Amino acid sequence: MIPSSPFLCVITDEAFCPITLAEEALKGGAAMIQLRHKTASGSQLYSWAVEIRKRCRQYNALCIINDRVDIALACDADGVHLGQDDLPAAAARKLLGNKRIIGISASCAEEALQAEKDGADYIGFGHIYPTISKQKEHAPLGPDNLQKSVESISLPVIAIGGINAENAPLLISRGASAVAVISAVSRAKEPSKAAYELLCAIKTGRQ
């Protein structure tokens, strides 16, 4: 189940050990960990996923696998996150059943609406602010577009892209159900502390 009050999602950073990062993020209060590694082998992904899922259960957090529906099934993850270049949501749903979560990346209200129609459980919307974590094709969307998307669909929207403890409260107040970060946690001196500070910021944004 996706938490009903605003939460923090931490996505793994390819430059760091995903297990350590997940552990730090969970200690800091992340309620969702997304294992994302585009270049790792299936065997490597599977072994990371098993370890991360184990730790997520200990912390009662959700373990989400990016792109690989097969790995998500094999490690009994809580769900998958799919980009617009990944397996279509409808195809993924057939494989995952109704109990597992499907998140879809969207960068405009149309994509968000389509994802909702396709049976997604949440939308990852971004990037909201400029970010160094991923190569981007479009300009940052900003809080206004985030709010538009939130208002156009009934699914939880997770804001992503360039989010930190300073700008997180605004995004929550604009209707985001969560914020997702990579570098704000992975590149922090103390990742667990950074996660905790983000979580506190998220809570101050609650209306």
Partner 1 sequence: MQHNNFKVTPLPRICLISNGEADADQGKVLLAQLNLLPETLPCMVQIREKRLEARELFNLAERARAIKLPAGSLLLCNDRLDIALAAGLDGVHLPENACPADKLRTFAPNLIFGCSIHSLEALHIAERSGADYLLFGPVFDTPSKRRYGASQGLHKLGEICMATSLPVYALGGIIPDNAALCMEEGAYGAAGLSVFQDTARLVETLEQFYSIICQ
Across the strands, what pairs with 170? none
Cβ closer to partner 1: 19 or 202? 19
> Contacts with partner 1 in 6-65 (CB under 8 A)?
41-46
Rounded to whole angstroms, the maximal C-alpha distance in the chain is 43
Cβ closer to partner 1: 43 or 60? 43
Active site includes 100?
A: no
Rounded CA Rg of the chain: 15
Q: Which stretch binds partner 1 (CB under 8 A): 1-9, 71-79, 146-154, 172-180?
A: 71-79
Q: Which stretch binds partner 1 (CB under 8 A): 67-75, 154-162, 177-185, 199-207?
A: 67-75
**Phi, psi of 103, rounded to the nearest 5 degrees:** -105, 145
List the catalytic residue out of 53, 68, 105, 107.
105
The first and second tokens of residue 33, run together, are 């960990």
Active site includes 154?
A: no
| Interaction of residue 87 with partner 1, rule CB under 8 A | yes
- Which of 5, 14, 15, 88 binds partner 1 (CB under 8 A)? It is 88
CA distance 183 to 28: 15
- Which of 25, 64, 75, 171 binds partner 1 (CB under 8 A)? It is 75
Angle between helices 42-58 and 18-27 (to 10 degrees): 20
In contact, 93 and 75? CB cutoff 8 Å:
no
Active site includes 36?
A: yes
Residue for token pair 């617009």:
84
- Which of 68, 81, 100, 174 binds partner 1 (CB under 8 A)? It is 68
Ordered DSSP codes for 22-45? HHHHHHTT-SEEEE--SSS-HHHH
List residues binding partner 1 (CB under 8 A): 41-46, 67-71, 73-75, 84-88, 91-92, 94-95
Please list the active-site residues.
36, 105, 134
